[in-house]
Amino acid sequence: MSALAHVGAGASGAPTGPPPEPTKKSRLAYLLLLPGAVWLLVFFVIPLVQLFTVSLQSQFPGYPGYYYRDVNVGNYWRAFTDFGPHFGRSLLFAGLATFFAFCLAYPLAYAMAFKAGSGGAS
Amino acid sequence: MMILVIAPFFTSFILRTVAWRQILADEGPVATTLNTLHLLPGGRITETWMAVVAGLTYNFLPFMVLPIYASLERADHRIIEAGGDLYANGFTTFRTVTLPMSMPGVLAGTLLTFIPAAGDYVNAELLGSDNTKMVGNVIESQFFRVLGGFPTAAALSFTLMAIILALVFVYVRKFGTEELL
């Protein structure tokens, strides 16, 4: 039973008793996960949170370019009322581009996969 | 053919877009040909939505080709041949066998194209006009040019992110295979 728990990489502890010690294998997995997780935290999660706080800031009246921390949902309202057409246009253009790219790419990929080169030895 | 698809990556994204300005210019080959054939209603391509969509299509084409190619390459040719053995014609075989087998590649390709294209502003900036500005252009101008535009730019970014996330979620839910969600 104990040998089985060790093979299970510490994921499935028995319902009674303390959870088993993390085995060497699972520790290696966490070690491999670490650089990517740190990278994402520093360069993705923290800037994202900062972006969110900035998006709720308000301006000091009379001092353009200076802000204070606030919960100003008006920024989001402004994003929709002033720039609504831009959102629509962005999604429309991106959708059209995706559609045309798909129409161009599928025959190309098909030819590459089945008709050309070493891969096409059907 | 693989080399032809990958070759544009050896040049910078912005340089390629600037080159497209020359190709689509009023006196350029594309516009003059279409004008001679009277196929161009406005008389010009640059500074219209057509140029922006063409630029986006061109710039993100490799991201569409390579996933579809990878999924088609991996497909078992014997299964496709079996379609012919079962008296399906070429089109039916494609529709019922080849296309479903390549769906993971199609999904990855459309996501890789749509998500960056929705946030792209280089194409709209270089190939478009004021009437074809996209969200990316607004964020850029709010951030760099409008004094006091930081919160608006941040709110725009967040809204765009939320919209794309919602769309992608619906899309993957509808077309995705079970290993994605």
Q: What is the pLDDT of residue A21?
A: 64
Decide: B115 and B108 in contact? Cβ < 8 Å. no
pLDDT at A42 over 80: yes
Would you call B64 and A105 a contact, using CB atoms and an 8 Å cutoff?
yes
Tokens of B25: 């210019």
**What pLDDT was estimated at residue A14?**
45
Q: Do B1 and A108 touch (CB under 8 A)?
A: yes
- Cβ of B152 and A75 within 8 Å? yes
Is the CB of residue B131 less than 8 Å from the CB of residue B180? Answer: no
Instruction: Determine, for residues B138 and A108 on separate chains, whether the beta-carbon distance falls below 8 Å.
Output: no
Q: What is the pLDDT of residue A121?
A: 43
pLDDT exceeds cutoff 60 at A96: yes
Confidence check: pLDDT of A38 > 90? yes
Residue in chain A nearest B119 by alpha carbon: A90
pLDDT confidence bin for A6, thresholds 50/70/90: very low
Residues with Cβ within 8 Å of A98's Cβ and at least 6 positions away in sequence, in order, are: B60, B64, B110, B113, B114, B117
Residue B163 or residue B42, greater confidence: B163
What is the SS3 assignment for A68? strand
Residue of B nearest to A59 (CA): B148
Q: Which amino acid is at B40?
A: L
Residue in chain B lying closest to A122 (CA):
B77
Express each pLDDT in B86-99 by its tens digit. Answer: 887 878 888 888 88
Q: Which amino acid is at B31?
A: A
Contact call for B110 and A102, based on CB within 8 A: yes
CB A108 within 8 A of CB B65: yes
pLDDT of residue A18: 61
Min Cα–Cα distance to chain A from B7, Å: 15
* Residue A46, pLDDT score: 92
Amino acid at B71: S
- Report ipTM for this prediction: 0.83
Interface of A with B in 60-89 (CB under 8 A): 64-65, 67, 72, 75-76, 78-80, 83, 86-87, 89
Q: What is the DSSP string of chain B?
A: -HHHHHGGGGS-HHHHHHHHHHHHSTTSHHHHHHHHTT--SSS--TTSHHHHHHHHHHHHHHHHHHHHHHHHHHS-HHHHHHHHHTT--HHHHIIIIIHHHTHHHHHHHHHHHHHHHHH--HHHHHH--GGG--HHHHHHHHHHTSTT-HHHHHHHHHHHHHHHHHHHHHHHHHH--TTT-
For B121-167, how does the pLDDT look when each residue is reduced to its tens digit (9 = 90+)?
888 888 878 777 888 888 888 888 777 778 888 888 888 888 889 98
Sort B165 into a burial class: Cβ within 10 Å, 0-12 / 13-18 / 19+.
Answer: exposed
* Nearest residue in A to B67, CA atom: A109
**Six token digits for residue A30:** 């966490």
Please report the pLDDT score of residue A7 as a whole number: 44
What's the CA gap between A92 and B166, in Å, rounded? Answer: 16
Residue with more model confidence, B83 or A64 = B83
Average pLDDT of chain B, as a whole number: 82
Query: In 3D, which of B126, A95, A104 has the Cα closest to residue B140?
Result: B126
pLDDT at B139: 85
Question: Average pLDDT, whole number, for chain A?
Answer: 76
